[in-house]
């Protein structure tokens, strides 16, 4: 098998499971590393695989001794010679660093993100940089298109990560699992042109614009007189229209949607929609044009998100937003409204499911009329009660985003393998919650979190199923990961080490939990 792989000029198909394990064993014996069988692939006369020695992983390349193929020039690492199956090979082992991630993305394009288009998608945020293999296991075979590199600038800041690191860990995770079906990368909740520039430079493929700071939530309940004033004061030059023209467009016609419903505006409803979202639309158009100029001829995808606002987006307001985006020349593949009910972090939906179903169906009808484009569900982690509704109503037009839940499930794995560390993190989270909750809409009460010392080792993993404990530990992730004691990380190094030592426990825990999210969407069209 090895000889034939090394003769291949194009990327070789995945070897069968038995053959991959046999070759992994042979490569492992020669290299002194545990080799991940799914990672084995050859291209251009070079064999690629991921190897692990102790807790350290390396990108390994091998090629016949005496030959100098082009591929190794794009990688760096230590070289030596080994013999495998009677073949003398040069073996190069390099760190999981940015240079080697770029090399993988160049020579093994399946490790690079691509456009996902308008299809069922799931975003799998990875705050620790270790979860992508687990996400691959959860997604494989479901029919959903994944975004394995997904993180907001806010999360990057709180975890001390960079856009390059988010991209690179996704690349290495895809390589480890040999995932060939393609994945996207989502630069989430971008608020400034500086955010755009940083994520463009890192090679992201989808950009989620968050104009929430420019939404006027007071317009939701303002009276007619206040709305007239707000409407008149909109930035009409940036919106490239006038108050008279906008009134003429919306008051003179109605919108017939694919579900046979009709949306019509009167003066008050138009003024409310425009006052609430007008400045956000101007900001979105500016960000989109900046992004388009920055990308040049490179293809990209855009999502618009107004989910992190105080008041729900009505179906009529969605019609207004989509109609205005189209008029302004913005092209997008997804839109995240602010849904009715509460989408608190890491817990199930709070609200009337029948009301949610009616509103969600209306949003999908708008997306079909003006697109089609996807309805994006942000803060989508653990919203198990709404998944069947979303899957039924949206079909392909849905993008579920998860992030913090993978961090919580990593902590569940820690609870199983290092109870003392989990209790320390739990106690620290309780201390930090009153401060850290400020930027989140959550309702957990620290008084309802059981004292860590009162929970037995056997019951610690299940503590994360309790509402208040789960939210408290969710929103304090940034403090946990950046906390220091005497100039050294207080938790992060121990946390990452424990997860690496118990890698399979970590992967299985996260994959099983993400799998529960995906089951209602799997196979639906």
| pLDDT tens profile 265-277 | 999 999 999 999 9
Is 465 an annotated catalytic residue? Answer: no
Last residue of a domain, one of 104, 135, 160: 104
When pLDDT is cut at 50, 70 and 90, the band that residue 1 belongs to is confident
Q: Domain ends where: 78, 104, 130?
A: 104
Contact in structure between 46 and 5 (CB atoms under 8 Å): no
Confidence band, pLDDT 50/70/90 cuts, at residue 68: low
Question: Would residue 237 count as lying in a domain?
Answer: no
**Residue 141 domain-assigned?**
no
Cα 84 from Cα 79, distance rounded (Å) = 15
Q: Is residue 37 part of a domain?
A: yes
Binning pLDDT at 50, 70 and 90, where does residue 69 land?
low
Say what the pLDDT of residue 525 is: 42
The per-residue pLDDT for range 105-144, each reduced to its tens digit, is 999 999 999 999 999 999 999 999 999 999 999 999 999 9
- Boundary-marking domain end, from 104, 119, 135: 104
Report which DSSP code applies to 440: S
Q: What is the 3-state secondary structure (H, E, C) of 297-340?
A: CCCCEEEEECCCCCCCCCHHHHHHHHHHHHHCCCCCCEEECCCC
Query: How much is the average pLDDT of 461-484?
Result: 97
Catalytic residue among 186, 301, 303, 393: 303
Residue 474 lies in a domain: yes
Catalytic annotation, pick one of 188, 307, 418, 468: 188
- The parent domain of residue 13 ranges over 2-104
Residue 454 lies in a domain: yes
Query: Do the domain assignments include residue 7?
Result: yes
Active site residue 418: no
Domain total for the chain?
2
Predicted local confidence at residue 376, as pLDDT: 98
Whether the pLDDT of residue 386 is over 60: the answer is yes
Confirm whether 455 is domain-assigned: yes
Backbone angles phi and psi of 191, in degrees to 5: -115, -20
For residue 428, being part of any structural domain is answered with yes
Max Cα distance, the chain (Å): 86
- Spatial CA neighbour of 328 closest among 248, 240, 251: 240
């Amino acid at each position: 098998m090895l000889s034939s792989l090394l003769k291949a000029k194009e990327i070789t198909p995945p070897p069968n499971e038995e053959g991959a394990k046999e070759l992994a064993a042979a490569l492992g014996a020669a290299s002194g590393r545990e080799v991940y069988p799914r990672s084995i692939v050859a291209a251009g006369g070079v064999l690629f695989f991921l190897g692990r020695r102790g807790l350290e992983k390396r990108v390994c390349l091998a090629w016949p001794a005496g030959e100098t193929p082009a591929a190794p020039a794009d990688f760096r690492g230590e070289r030596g010679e080994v013999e495998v199956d009677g073949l003398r090979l040069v073996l190069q082992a390099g760190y999981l660093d940015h240079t080697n991630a770029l090399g993988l993305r160049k020579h093994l394009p399946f490790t690079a993100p691509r456009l996902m288009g308008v299809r069922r998608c799931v975003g799998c945020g990875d705050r620790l940089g270790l979860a992508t293999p687990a996400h691959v296991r959860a997604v494989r075979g479901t029919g959903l298109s994944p975004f394995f590199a997904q993180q907001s600038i806010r999360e990057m800041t709180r975890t001390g990560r960079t856009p390059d690191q988010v991209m690179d860990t996704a690349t290495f995770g895809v390589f480890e699992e040999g995932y060939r079906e393609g994945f996207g990368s989502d630069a989430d909740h971008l608020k400034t042109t500086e955010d755009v520039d940083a994520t463009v430079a890192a090679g992201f493929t989808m950009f989620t614009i968050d104009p929430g700071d420019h939404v006027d939530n007071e317009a939701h309940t303002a009276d007619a007189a206040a709305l007239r004033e707000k409407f008149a004061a909109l930035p009409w030059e940036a919106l490239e229209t006038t108050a008279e023209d906008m009134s003429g467009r919306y008051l003179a016609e109605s919108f017939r949607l694919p579900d046979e419903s009709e949306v019509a505006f009167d003066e008050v409803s138009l003024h409310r929609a425009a006052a609430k979202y007008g400045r956000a639309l101007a900001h979105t158009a500016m960000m989109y044009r900046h992004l388009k100029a920055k990308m040049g001829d490179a293809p990209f995808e855009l999502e618009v998100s107004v989910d992190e606002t105080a008041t729900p987006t009505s179906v009529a307001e969605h019609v207004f937003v989509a109609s205005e985006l189209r008029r302004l020349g913005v092209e997008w593949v997804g839109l995240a409204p602010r849904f009715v009910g509460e989408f608190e972090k890491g817990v199930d939906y709070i609200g009337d499911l029948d009301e949610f179903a009616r509103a969600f169906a209306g949003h999908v009808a708008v997306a079909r009329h003006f697109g089609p484009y996807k309805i994006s569900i942000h803060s989508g982690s653990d919203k198990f009660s709404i998944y069947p509704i979303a899957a039924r109503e949206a079909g392909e037009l849905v993008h579920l985003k998860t992030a913090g839940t993978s961090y919580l499930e990593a902590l569940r794995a820690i609870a199983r393998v290092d109870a003392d560390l989990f209790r320390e993190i739990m106690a620290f989270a309780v201390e930090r919650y009153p401060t850290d909750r400020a930027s989140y809409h959550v309702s957990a009460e620290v008084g309802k979190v059981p004292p860590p010392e009162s929970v037995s080792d056997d019951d610690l993993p299940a503590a994360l199923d309790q509402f208040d404990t789960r939210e408290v530990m969710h929103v304090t992730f940034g403090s946990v990961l950046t906390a220091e004691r005497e100039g050294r990380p207080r938790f992060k190094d121990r946390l990452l080490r424990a997860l690496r030592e118990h890698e399979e426990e970590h992967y299985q825990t996260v994959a099983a939990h993400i799998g529960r999210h995906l089951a209602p969407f799997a196979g639906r069209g």
